[in-house]
Every structure is written in structure tokens, then in C-alpha cells.
A and B are shown apart, each in its own frame.
Chain A
Amino acid sequence: MSSAQIEIQLIASLVAIACAIPGTFLVLRKMAMISDAISHSILPGIVVGFFITQDLNSPLLILLAALTGVITVVLVEYIQKTGLVKEDTAIGLVFPVLFSIGVLMIAKKANDVHLDIDAVLVGELALAPFDRLIISGVDVGPKSLWIIGGILLFTIGLLVAFFKELKLSTFDKGLAASLGFSPAIIHYGLMSVSSITTVGAFDAVGAILVVALMIAPAATAYLLTTDLKKMLGLSIVFGVFSAISGYWFAHWLDASIAGSITTMLGVLFLLVYLFAPNKGVIAVLYREKQQRTEVSLLTFLLHLKNHDEERERHVNHLNEHINWQKVRSKTVLELALKNNMIVINNNIVSLTSKGDEFTTQAIDYIITNEDAQIEDMKDDFFLFRG
């Protein structure tokens, strides 16, 4: 591993961490798409800043671009407040317009300057180590490393200082406001941090892929935990993991590093989306199937309780009467037998005393619909799952 390679991975990891922290809060506050809007609409800010400073890494440019990001948020909120369109439409209207202005400014003015829309959108991490920061003749490392490192320190500082306020206002806005934390300040603070991070990272991973680094690790972590601190930690781990593995994947494929980091994030999300223990798709589908069976069982038991006639309780008749498929009635029948809810004599099904009691309880619950009753039922239902 050459020192350039180490530096690239270091930059990528720092970007991933710097994005994961605000990203977690954006996902929790249901503002993920705002980050997409910001990442597009900082373009005119970058272009104007570039015209002034002629340097893509100048702090003034970062500030200007971050300001454009905050302006986007304010504009979106203003349009939304007029009540003419919904919030998502407001977002969808504001950022393409700002982005178009940026694109046209580049096309008109910056034709012969080194500022490429592709570079802004996609970034070129591979070139980052060659732009060195030199202080009084001493080479102290790549510029973007210092920039993103500074932003990361700033973000971490804010996170530690305002963790409690952020947490409270994210989960209970009303309580936070009534306790005297201004929701507006926290909101715009978070927006400013997101803007600054986006701008700082656009050089390395490109403006659009910042969105991936913000949302994907947080969303993946959210599927695994509901604890805020764990979620923050997990998103950072996911971000760094994809940054490093993405780098090597791109190295092997000889393709865009940013693209391959995003692909890694995608693979990670897909895996968690499918296999997460409680909230993954497979777990959810399995649970839904079980719940369907439970409801079927309940229907079946209620039917038995309602009918004393032997004719109605014949196994074959049940098949027709409740209109179930063979397999399904067999599953339900076996489940009931296993839990000693029913006995079968000469193909006539009858409730056991346990089943009878259970069914009475169920009817009580259905009639009264009181939550106190369902607590016991939950335990009973848990039995079936065994």
C-alpha cells in the first residue's frame, strides 16, 4: 500500500464519518431528501465562490456553498408555508432550479476554467492526494484531508456539546420547545452542518454521492437498532467499512471510487434489508405469515365454539365451510392439536376445555376491545409460535 492509497482511504473514511453523523439525524427527522436537495443546490454557490477565489478548496468557497445550502432550506420552507404546494413538491422545485442556474453559469463562464460539472457531481477521490497543503514549505498532507478533518472535528464538537438537545428535539419536538430549546436553532444548525459537510465532501466523493453516505449508513443502522447512540456508532462503522472496501473494489475494477463506495453501501443495505433480525423483509414476511395462521386458528376455534352440531364439525365439512385451501386447514388443524385446543374423534372436531377457555377469552376481547385483555392473549399467542 502506497502512502497515496492510505491517504485516499483515510479521506474516504473521514468523509464517511462526517456524513454519518448528520445523516443519522436527518433520517430520524424524516428529512433525508433535504440532503439530496442541498447536495444539488450548492452548485451555484460553488460556482460563484470559484469565480471569486479561483480555488476549489478555499474556505470562502465552502462557506458560500454552505450558505446556498441553508438558503435552499429556507426557500423550501417558505414555499411550503405559502400552502400553495406540499413540502415534497417544494423540495422538488427548488433544487433543480438552483442546480440549473449552476450548470448554466458553468457553461457560460467557466468553459476554460478547471471546473467540471461531472467533477462536482461525482468527484475524483483518486486525485485528492495530489493536491497537497504546504505550510511554510513543509508538506503536511493532502488539502482535502485537512478540510474534511476540520469539518469532522467541528461536527463531533457540536454533537458532543448538543447531543441532549438534538436527541430531545428529534424525538419530541413539542417537549423540546416547551423546555426552552429553540427548535428553529437546532433545525437550522443541523441544516448548516449538513450543508458544510456536503460541500466539504463534494470534492472527494461528489455532491450526489454525499447523499448516499449520509442516508444509507443511517438507514441501514436504523434497521438494526432503535438506540440513538448505537445507531450513530453503527452508521459510522458501516460508512467506514464501505469506504475502505469500496476503495479496494474500485482499485480492482479500475472504476470510480465514489461509485464503488456507494455500491458497497448498497450491498450492505440490501443484506441488512433482507436479513435484519426483527425488521428485515424476511423476518417481517415470516411474522406476517405467522400472524395470518394465528388469525386463521382463532377463526377456526370460534367456528367450533359456535357450532355444536356434529355435521358442522366434521373435518371435511370444515374445509368447505371456512373456505380454506387443504394445506392451510391442515396447518391450522395441526397447530390447534399441538396446543391441546381440540381433539378429533372419528373425524369430528371438538374443543378441549383449554380451547374453550381460550376462545371465550378471545370473544371477550373482540367484544370489549380492551387493551388490558390482550396482554394475556399475547402470552397465549406466544405459545403457538413455539
Chain B
Amino acid sequence: MDIREYFSLVFSDYTLRTITLGTAILGAVTGMLGSFAVLRKQSLLGDAISHAALPGIAISFLITGTKDSNTLLLGALVSGLIGTFWIRGIITKTHLKSDTALGLILSLFFGFGMLLLTFIQKQPNANQAGLDKYLFGQAATLVESDVWMMAGVTGICLFVLLLFWKEFKILLFDKDYAKTLGFNTKTIDILITSFIVLAIVLGLQTVGVVLMSAMLLAPAAAARQWTNSLATMVFLAALFGAFSGVFGTAISASQNNLSTGPVIVLVAAVFVFVSFIFSPSRGLLFKQIRFIKNRRDLQLHKTLAFMYNIAETHDDISHPHEIKILNNFQGFTKGTLKKLVEKNYVTLEGSTWSLTNEGFKSASNLYNQLTKNDE
């Protein structure tokens, strides 16, 4: 199936359209809220919450007996919130550190959820099959009403985000200042944490408990590399998330036996990888290039200084010297020599070099300039 065919299918095929829309919206909302999680150093909170949501799903099934995804997700929301606030309780009230609290809640809630799931499976009730889709997610089970709900929640998130933008921003970067300005930091904090929980719960059906945290982190971590402005970052993260959703769905739909969740996560990881390497200001590639360039400059200066020291001992500064002399000196390469010639600091003649007047002058001022620059 080629790309054109696929795109026409996206618009004509109900299932594919629903799933593509659903994953795109999901990616956008998790990317948006994930930016806050990443910047608040709460990256792993998402992992803990998504695992903590599992018993909620099982309990709401046990109580209602229906598999309606809205009911189950409501249960997930409640249990996710309980998990989150218990984590906060552990961190503030005891001396256990945040990583321990996260790991504890994550594993204990998940284990309890598994207990309930296996318990449900043993029940004489034909309706129980399919609950384990929440473990790894099954985008194929998305129906139009799910997408509408996602869109609705995303709309609310966006609205609240815009409404409290300045509060969120100030809380993010300077909590103490926000407090002194009289903002109720606790309420804002709870508000944003609740929205993060909400976004995670939304994604459970599509991506599943285990991989949900990556949906939250990856777009935000990728977006962070391209900008230093919060608004741009949130926007970019939403964009990356949406694209991961669309591409992931496309790839998994065009291949057999590829579950959507892991593919979306891998696509998001590709975004992160590319951003880590190619981002102009922070990326590893340009950092390395800058690093090499700086080192070359330094070597050039060192060579020049060495030449200057030799030339100084002669009356005539342009007295030619063998290139071999330079070999004793570590910073010397053919490249730097060529550069020096280009800058007209040095002239080459056969196997000898000599400093030009210009080169001598700039070499004698080399360290003076540096000290001047330092001042």
C-alpha cells in the first residue's frame, strides 16, 4: 500500500480515520501537558500514575460490570489521583525520597491491579474479556465517542492552560516568587497535576499502562531541544505528539502484527533522537562541531605562538624555517598551517615557512588581546 492509497484510506475508512484522529489528539494533549511534567522534573510521575490507574479500571469494572470505556477511565482517573496524592504524601510527610515514593506507588498499585484483573478473569462472567487491553493499549478499539471525549478533554485542557497560563508559568520557573506574589501555589499545583493525570488516563486505552509515560515525556523532551520559550515548547510538543500519533498509526496499520502503542512510542523516540542530535543550539552534532572549531582555533593560536617564539630569536622575522621544526610541537597540523597561510600570517616556500609582518604583529598581541578580551 503506497502513501497516497493510505491517505485516501484515512479519509474513507471509518476505523482508520477514528484511530488516526484519536492518536493525533492524544499525542497533542500529552505533549502539551508533558511539557509541564518535564519542566517540573516530574517525568516519572507519568509512569507512576499510569500504573496506578490499573486498579481503578478493575474496580470500576467490578462495581458496574460494564466495559464502557468512559466508566472504566473514570475509575482510572480516581485511582490515578489517589496514587498521585499518596506520592505527595509520602514525599512531604516522611523522609522517603521521591524516586522511592514513585516506585512504591507504581509497583504496589500495579500489583494490586493485576491481582484484581486475574480475580476478574476467574469470575463466571462472560463480559470480562478485554480488560487487559489497558495493559498495552489497543488503538483499534477506539470508537468515535472515545475520540469525541478526547477532543472534549483536550479542549478543556487548552482552555484552562490559556486561562491560567501566567500562573502555570510562574509556578514552573519560580515557585517562591509565585508564593510571594500571593498566588495560591497549592491550588495551581493540584490543578496542573490533575490535568497531567487526566491526560495519562485518556491515553490508557490507546497506548496502555506500561508505555503511557513515554507519550508524556518524549514529545516534550524533543520540543525542549528546539526552544527556550515555554509557549513555543508547549506548541512544538503538541505538534510532535500529534505527528507521532499519526505516523505511528500509519506504520502499524500498514504492517501486520504491529501493535499501535509501541510503534507510536518508537516514532516519538525518533523525534527525540533527531532533536537530541540536530537541534541547532543544544544538539549534540552542533555542539561537537562547535567544540572541534574551538579546538582548531586554539591549535592555530598555539602554532602561531610557537612560530612567534622561534621568529623572535632572529633579527629578520621573515627568516625561513623548516616545517619539520613544527613537528616537535603537538598542536601543529597541515590544516592549521594552511589556515595560517590563508590568513596571510605565514608564507610557505618549499619545505620552509616564514612569518609575515602581519603574522608577527598578531602573534605578539595574541596574549595581550586575550587578556584584553577577558577584561
Interface pair B266/A101, CB less than 8 Å apart = yes
Nearest chain A residue, comparing its CB with the CB of B51: A208
Nearest chain B residue, comparing its CB with the CB of A264: B111
Bound-state Cα–Cα, A107 to B99, Å: 32
Interface pair B115/A30, CB less than 8 Å apart = no
Closest CB of chain B to A109's CB: distance in Å? 9
Interface pair B99/A32, CB less than 8 Å apart = yes
Bound-state Cα–Cα, A220 to B30, Å: 33
Interface pair A103/B112, CB less than 8 Å apart = no
Answer whether residue A222 sits at the interface, using C-beta atoms and an 8 A cutoff: yes
* Residues of B64-80 contacting chain A, CB below 8 A: none
Nearest chain A residue, comparing its CB with the CB of B89: A281
Interface segment among A82-90, A159-167, A344-352: the answer is A82-90
Interface segment among B158-166, B197-205, B256-264: the answer is B256-264
Answer whether residue A118 sits at the interface, using C-beta atoms and an 8 A cutoff: yes
B residues less than 8 Å from A86 (CB atoms): 38, 41, 43
A residues less than 8 Å from B107 (CB atoms): 36, 208-209, 211-212, 215-216, 262
Cβ contacts B305-326/A at 8 Å (1 or 0 each): 0000000000000000000000
Bound-state Cα–Cα, A373 to B272, Å: 55
The DSSP consensus for interface residues of chain A is helix
Given contacts A100-B262, A104-B263, contact A89 B110 (CB under 8 A): no
Cβ contacts A283-307/B at 8 Å (1 or 0 each): 0110000000000000000000000
Answer whether residue A223 sits at the interface, using C-beta atoms and an 8 A cutoff: yes
Answer whether residue A97 sits at the interface, using C-beta atoms and an 8 A cutoff: yes
Interface segment among B10-18, B210-218, B355-363: the answer is B210-218
Interface pair A266/B44, CB less than 8 Å apart = no
A residues less than 8 Å from B186 (CB atoms): none
Interface pair A92/B94, CB less than 8 Å apart = no
* Residues of A198-222 contacting chain B, CB below 8 A: 208-209, 211-212, 214-216, 218-219, 222
Answer whether residue A258 sits at the interface, using C-beta atoms and an 8 A cutoff: yes
Bound-state Cα–Cα, A215 to B87, Å: 14
The DSSP consensus for interface residues of chain B is helix
Interface pair A100/B265, CB less than 8 Å apart = yes
Answer whether residue A33 sits at the interface, using C-beta atoms and an 8 A cutoff: yes
Nearest chain B residue, comparing its CB with the CB of A220: B104
A residues less than 8 Å from B4 (CB atoms): none
Interface pair B108/A269, CB less than 8 Å apart = yes
Answer whether residue A183 sits at the interface, using C-beta atoms and an 8 A cutoff: no
Answer whether residue A261 sits at the interface, using C-beta atoms and an 8 A cutoff: yes
Answer whether residue B103 sits at the interface, using C-beta atoms and an 8 A cutoff: yes
Interface pair A92/B115, CB less than 8 Å apart = no
Given contacts A99-B210, A103-B262, contact A262 B111 (CB under 8 A): yes
* Residue from the list A91, A100, A103, A108 in contact with B44, Cβ < 8 A: A91
Size class of the B contact interface (CB-based, 8 Å): 35 or more
Bound-state Cα–Cα, A30 to B100, Å: 7
Given contacts A31-B99, A36-B47, A89-B38, contact A103 B136 (CB under 8 A): yes
Interface pair A265/B111, CB less than 8 Å apart = yes
* Residues of B208-267 contacting chain A, CB below 8 A: 210-211, 213-214, 216-218, 221, 224-225, 257-259, 261-263, 265-266
Given contacts A93-B217, A253-B119, contact A259 B111 (CB under 8 A): yes
Q: How many residues of A contact B (CB 8 A)?
A: 63
Interface pair A97/B214, CB less than 8 Å apart = yes
Interface pair B118/A256, CB less than 8 Å apart = yes
* Residues of A257-275 contacting chain B, CB below 8 A: 258-263, 265-266, 269, 273
A residues less than 8 Å from B218 (CB atoms): 93, 96
Closest CB of chain A to B184's CB: distance in Å? 21
* Residues of B39-60 contacting chain A, CB below 8 A: 41-44, 46-47, 51
Closest CB of chain B to A354's CB: distance in Å? 35
Bound-state Cα–Cα, A103 to B217, Å: 19
Interface pair B276/A82, CB less than 8 Å apart = yes
Bound-state Cα–Cα, A369 to B185, Å: 30
Interface pair B119/A33, CB less than 8 Å apart = no
B residues less than 8 Å from A280 (CB atoms): 94
Bound-state Cα–Cα, A269 to B116, Å: 19
Give the top 4 A-B pairs by smallest Cβ distance, nearest first: A262-B111, A259-B115, A96-B214, A212-B107
A-B contact pairs, 12 of them (CB 8 A): A88-B43, A91-B43, A92-B43, A93-B272, A96-B214, A107-B258, A121-B135, A208-B107, A209-B111, A215-B103, A223-B94, A261-B111
Beyond A32-B99, A88-B41, 16 additional pairs, beta carbon < 8 A: A36-B44, A82-B284, A84-B221, A84-B276, A85-B224, A92-B46, A92-B214, A96-B214, A96-B218, A99-B211, A101-B262, A104-B263, A107-B257, A212-B107, A215-B100, A262-B110
